[in-house]
Structure 1
Amino acid sequence: MPAPSSSPDSFATAPDGARIACQLEGAEGNQPPLLLLAGQSNSHHWWDPVRDDFARRTITIDYRGSGASDKPDEPYSTPGFAADVVAVLDHLGLRQVDVYGTSMGGRVAQWVAVLYPDRVRALVLGCTSPGKAHGFERSQEIRRALANPDQAARDDVLADLMYTPQWRRRHPGPYPVLGDTAMPAYAKGRHLVASNSHEAWAELPSIKAPTLVLHGTDDVFSPAANARLLADRIPDARAELIQGARHAYFHEFQAVASPLVTDFLAAP
């Protein structure tokens, strides 16, 4: 596994004054920079294994509550995270970017495209959903397993939801997608509520950016049926399902997933 990113943080100021850490890597090229949005309760290190797959300038952020960003103990929301994203783009002097969000990052990406359409040239939504009211949710059995008070047991369940057993046998970890261990408990709770409260169904038809939806066929953490829902709801979007992949399709199946993203982004 690649070493964690050494890119130094810089800090944007959100509308409410919170400092949001961001990381800019890669050389400028002919294509717009690519903004990468991580999953719930994770920092930018979520993207470390695959960031170099994208031969362009990339931007990551630490959501409020995670990484080096401020961690106010107050309600968070996916539209609020989207506002933080735009503060980062303003801080970096970037008018328009391509956006690739996975899991909760895909939920945040939906709001960036809905609320700030002029900032998004192209959109990739991975292993995500439109929200609880219309989306397909994980089972109660999975929810109970993830509520286990034993941290090691929770991590094992989460790793199994992310990766196939055969891949885990060959790659014993540590895994960069199991959460930011330095996050305070209250911030993890705020992230969980923000993700669970996401509801963008009514606004999805207003998305104007060309959109690719990616999902692993064997994802039960965010069921794969959500991919077709999103692709049908967003004008002219297309869905690609990656056979045999679970939630962290972009990591385990990066040889398939990363070319799908780069080829799509080269087209607009």
Structure 2
Amino acid sequence: MAWTRARDGLPLYYECFEPASRPRAAVLLLMGLGANARIWAPVVAPLRAAGHTVVAMDNRGCGRSGVPWRPWSTRTMAADAVAVLDALGVRRTHVIGASMGGMVAQELALAFPERVHSLVLGCTSGGLPRGPALVTRRGVREVLALAVRTVRPVPLDVQVERFLCANISGDFAATAPRDGECWRAVEAMLAEPTCLRGLLHQSLATVRHSSWSRVGGLRPRVLVQHGTADPVIPVAAGRELARRIPSADFQQLDGAGHALGLERTEEITQRALAFMRAEESGSRV
């Protein structure tokens, strides 16, 4: 557990997990709107077991990182990620970004391609301005309403249940045990709720993000992962994102919702690990 400073002096919180076996390249994890790094717990474990140093950071505006008064952009958050890498002395890393974190990951790879070994983009998009066919307004409204509710004094178990119902498929939500890893990860995240100002500024950065016209210039290899039952960002957005990135791989997860790291942990991590190993060895999956 540690802090560093962004370019504007804002404190940035991050956690670094050393590998449980022979060290491989580092993996940077970037989370979505209003969510802090604690929700990555189910994904951290298999990445560490595979030998990767795992870095999970709290984006500005949430968790233990600072909350500026002025708005910011996904490019600012990409620069924040570089500040964390610099603090750790990591020159090059694999990057896994989910939802808004996937947008930040795109900006990171576009602005600092020399720092990114490969890119895994989950349940994300090239931006909301592309239209309702690729990002549903209803889905965005539901996520924002859910996030706003987390700043209200509601019992934690109720908050966890609401989060799961809004972000994973109905079948998985109905069977997720309250003492299971998925429930505990969401509970740990919600124990440190995002303040309303941070949530609004992160929302503004997400709404303003648009990389559709630039993702064709991505230099690192990219794996796009998306669930067919995602209620927030439809699978069509993931397919379009992969189509616009030269030689990108696309993994469709049938029946999966928005929070792939909670619902399909093993499936997405094993595919990501195979993809990253292939990139490290210079071969393709």
CA contact (8 A) 2:160 2:186 kept: no
1:13 partner amino acid: R
Aligned twin of 1:211: 222
Partner of 1:147: 145
- TM-score scaled by structure 1? 0.89
Cα offset for 1:222? 0.9
Decide whether the 8 Å contact of 1:48 with 1:176 is kept in 2.
yes
The reply on whether 1:115 has 2:111 as its aligned counterpart is yes
Q: 1:105 deviation in Å? A: 0.6
**Local SS of the residue matching 1:34:** strand
The aligned counterpart of 1:4 is none
Q: Is 2:32 the partner of 1:12?
A: no
Q: Please state how far the C-alpha of 1:142 moved relative to its aligned partner.
A: 6.2
Q: Aligned to 2:136, what secondary structure does the other structure show?
A: coil
1:90 aligned counterpart, secondary structure = helix
| Unaligned 5+ runs, structure 2 | 280-285
Is contact 2:40–2:261 with CA below 8 Å preserved after alignment? Answer: no
2:38 matched residue in structure 1: 45
State how far apart, in whole Å, the 2-side matches of 1:198 and 1:247 are: 19
1:262 paired residue among 273, 276, 279: 273
1:127-138 alignment, distance < 5 Å: 127-134=123-130, 136-138=134-136
Deviation of 1:248 after TM superposition, in Å, equals: 1.1
Look up the SS of the partner of 2:63 in the other structure: coil
Q: Residue 210 of structure 1 contacts residue 237 of structure 1 at CA under 8 Å; is this kept in 2?
A: yes
210-219 or 189-198, which deviates more: 189-198
Partner-residue secondary structure (3-state), 1:64 = coil
Equivalent position SS for 1:263: helix
Displacement of 1:86 = 0.3
Q: Using the alignment, how far apart are the partners of 1:265 and 1:257 within structure 2?
A: 12
Identity across the alignment (%): 32
Residue 162 of structure 1, CA deviation: 1.5
Aligned-partner SS, 1:57? strand
Q: TM-score, normalised by structure 2?
A: 0.84
Q: Give 1:147 deviation, angstroms.
A: 3.2
**Which residue does the alignment assign to 1:26?**
18
- Distance in 1, Cα, partners of 2:149 & 2:218: 41
Q: Are 2:93 and 1:101 aligned?
A: no
Do the aligned partners of 1:39 and 1:46 also contact (CA within 8 Å) in 2? no
SS in 2 for 1:21: strand
Q: Once superposed, what is the RMSD of the aligned Cα atoms?
A: 2.3
- Larger helix percent: 2
Show CA shifts across 1:45-74 (max 9, x none): 120122111121100101111111111221
4+ residue runs over 4 A deviation: 148-158, 177-181
Bigger shift: residues 238-247 or 142-151 = 142-151
SS in 2 for 1:129: coil
Letter in 1 for 2:174: R
Deviates more, 1:175-184 or 1:196-205: 175-184
Q: Does 1:189 align with 2:200?
A: yes
Instruction: Please name the residue that 2:57 is paired with.
Output: 61
Q: Tell me how far apart the structure 2 counterparts of residues 66 and 182 of structure 1 sit (CA, whole Å).
A: 8
Q: 2:32 corresponds to which letter in structure 1?
A: G
CA contact (8 A) 1:99 1:124 kept: yes
Structure 1 alignment gaps of length 5 or more = 1-8
**Counterpart selection for 2:82 from 52, 63, 86:** 86
Amino acid at match of 1:143: R
